[in-house]
A and B are shown apart, each in its own frame.
Chain A
Amino acid sequence: MSMRTPLKTIRHLGSAKDGTSHFWQQRLTAVANVPLVIGFVILVIMLSGATHAEFVAAAGSPLGAIFLIAAVLSVTWHMRLGMQVVIEDYIHSEGMKIVLVLGNTFFTAAIALVSVFSILKLSFGG
């Protein structure tokens, strides 16, 4: 006979209402970040002292732009998830927590938007 109650199985998707998706996305983007960050470090080394023309040629090339956009999207999504956990761990007042979680999304979205737009402009607009 089992001593477990039906609560051993989380009802629906649990208290956060999204099951393990946060954890899974954290790991998914972490896996993606490994090659993307290594490539990014190499790219930065190559472009550390670049002139504007050299930078546009490299970052605006189809391969460079696609790579950079992938890196930006994966990293910003990963850091949004990570910072959300940090906020939820340390901020216990409900109102401040909501404000900071919202701010977290706005900040990471802004970083992603500015970066992706800039890359696309280098690629299409010169």
Chain B
Amino acid sequence: MSETTPTPHPRIGADRPLSPHLQVYRPLFTMMMSIVHRITGVGLYFGMFLLAWWLFAAASGPDYFTWVQGFFGSWFGQVILFGFTWALLHHMLGGLRHFVWDMGHGFGEVERETMAKATLAGSVILTVLVWIIGYMVR
């Protein structure tokens, strides 16, 4: 058998040259924001369990619902929900940034930095605003 016989499922990367990845690049702000977009997405993915739990508790009856509401109202629950709110708003603003790119805009050196900064600042400001309103209407 010759060594060049292709195997049906070669391990990706085993013999192939790979393009440079994260470890060779100087960290850039837009790159960090891209990574954070993905991390918030993954966080929200598992965080959606909380919504299902909340709705399930409501469907289960007043006793269990009150207990779950108590959990979300505790300091631990509030910290999780605060993080969830930020991840949600950050991911949403990041998504809006992607819409701009989809339309073929915002690729310039200045615009992409401005949009990235606006996403980060906007997500923090909106999160704080949502929580201030949340505590006011309580």
Closest to A53 in B: B62
CB distance from B65 to the nearest CB of A (A): 5
For the complex, would chain B's binding face be called helix, strand, loop or mixed by DSSP majority?
helix
A117 touches B59 (CB 8 A): yes
Interface residues in A41-74 (C-beta closer than 8 Å to B): 41, 45-46, 48-53, 55-56, 59, 68, 72
Knowing A37-B88, A83-B45, the reply to whether A92 touches B12 (Cβ < 8 A) is: yes
Knowing A59-B55, A92-B11, the reply to whether A79 touches B48 (Cβ < 8 A) is: yes
Knowing A79-B48, A92-B12, A94-B9, the reply to whether A48 touches B138 (Cβ < 8 A) is: yes
A79 touches B58 (CB 8 A): no
Closest to A38 in B: B92
B55 touches A49 (CB 8 A): no
B38 touches A86 (CB 8 A): yes
B59 touches A52 (CB 8 A): no
Alpha-carbon separation in the docked complex, A50 to B96 (Å): 32
B9, B52, B96: the one contacting A111 at CB < 8 Å is B52
B49 touches A111 (CB 8 A): yes
Contact residues in B for A75 (Cβ distance below 8 Å): 48
Closest to A117 in B: B59
Contact residues in B for A13 (Cβ distance below 8 Å): none
Knowing A86-B42, A111-B52, A121-B59, the reply to whether A41 touches B88 (Cβ < 8 A) is: yes
Contact residues in B for A31 (Cβ distance below 8 Å): 99
B59 touches A46 (CB 8 A): no
